[in-house]
Amino acid sequence: MKSLPVTPLVFSLLMGVSVTHGVDLTFFGWSDQHVKTDGSTQHLHPFIDAMNAMPGTPYPESIGGEVGNPAFIIGAGDVTEWPTNAAMRGYDVVLAKRLKFKAMDVLGNHDDGGLAFSPTMLNWCKRRHGSLSYVFQEGGVRFIALWSKFDPKGKPFQAITAESLGYLKTELTKAPGGQPIVLFTHLCYDAMTNRDELIKVIGDANVVLILGGHYHKATFHSYKGRNWVQLPSPKSDFNHFTVLRITDDRLLALPYDFVKKEWVSNPRQALDLRIGEAVNK
């Protein structure tokens, strides 16, 4: 990550990110846990244990300080491989007994069963969070979990539905002016075919991060002045989860390899944005 002076290009990358007031919020992100149909969660255990142990880990030198306690863990969907009762119970057990932090998940295309529809996980999400899309606030930041129905007969890349965009539009109007907002949904930057429509709905709302999953790897894209962060999956070849931090003057989304004990510094995967000063490129 290298710092650049503020240029018109950098300025355009900073659009949509306002300086916040008194915010210092840490949370972690992962996606596509794909709990197996028999309820087995073994493959998640190393990731959960690493997240539990992460607070106190030094940030890269260019950032300084240590990782704080995460307020919660965001999951960007596909909690289950297919939504059996055993998978649902398996996930509930790791959340209750293994993960030390609160989990905030939005569901993905696997969670409704696709062509073999099952409402098990949809009902789970409604019980846990009140509805499939939901809003919560933490440390002065507003989080919008945006569920979008996926067409199981369609391609892996699809549009966020008109219904979901309508929900987002309504919720954005409820945010006090300038409040930082984090949006998370299952479709990632590369898989979302109507990104421009989403950008239009966001308008001038202070959406500082758009988080997705679905394609399993940690990536970062800057597009139309918004920060698109794809959260990594335990079902990938990588031992990554992402540490996110929002403060008054800096926005971080840094994948961490917990086996190598190394931060991922590739700028196509990591975001280190000094608000009003510099941006990684």
Binding site for Fe ion (CB under 5 A): 78, 108-109, 214
| Minimum CB–partner distance for residue 18 and Fe ion (Å) | 32
Q: Tokens standing for 143?
A: 């989080």
Would you say 51 and 99 are in contact if contact means Cβ atoms under 8 Å apart? yes
| Minimum CB–partner distance for residue 154 and Fe ion (Å) | 12
Cβ nearer to Fe ion, comparing 195 with 214: 214
Per DSSP, 59 falls in state P
Cβ nearer to Fe ion, comparing 90 with 108: 108
Per DSSP, 7 falls in state -
| Cα–Cα distance measured from residue 247 to residue 17, given in angstroms and rounded to the nearest whole number | 12
CB atoms within 10 A of CB 266: 11
| Minimum CB–partner distance for residue 243 and Fe ion (Å) | 22
Cβ nearer to Fe ion, comparing 214 with 240: 214
Cβ nearer to Fe ion, comparing 83 with 108: 108
| Cα–Cα distance measured from residue 187 to residue 88, given in angstroms and rounded to the nearest whole number | 21
Would you say 142 and 135 are in contact if contact means Cβ atoms under 8 Å apart? yes
| Minimum CB–partner distance for residue 188 and Fe ion (Å) | 9
3-state helix, strand, coil in the chain (%, to 5): 25, 25, 50
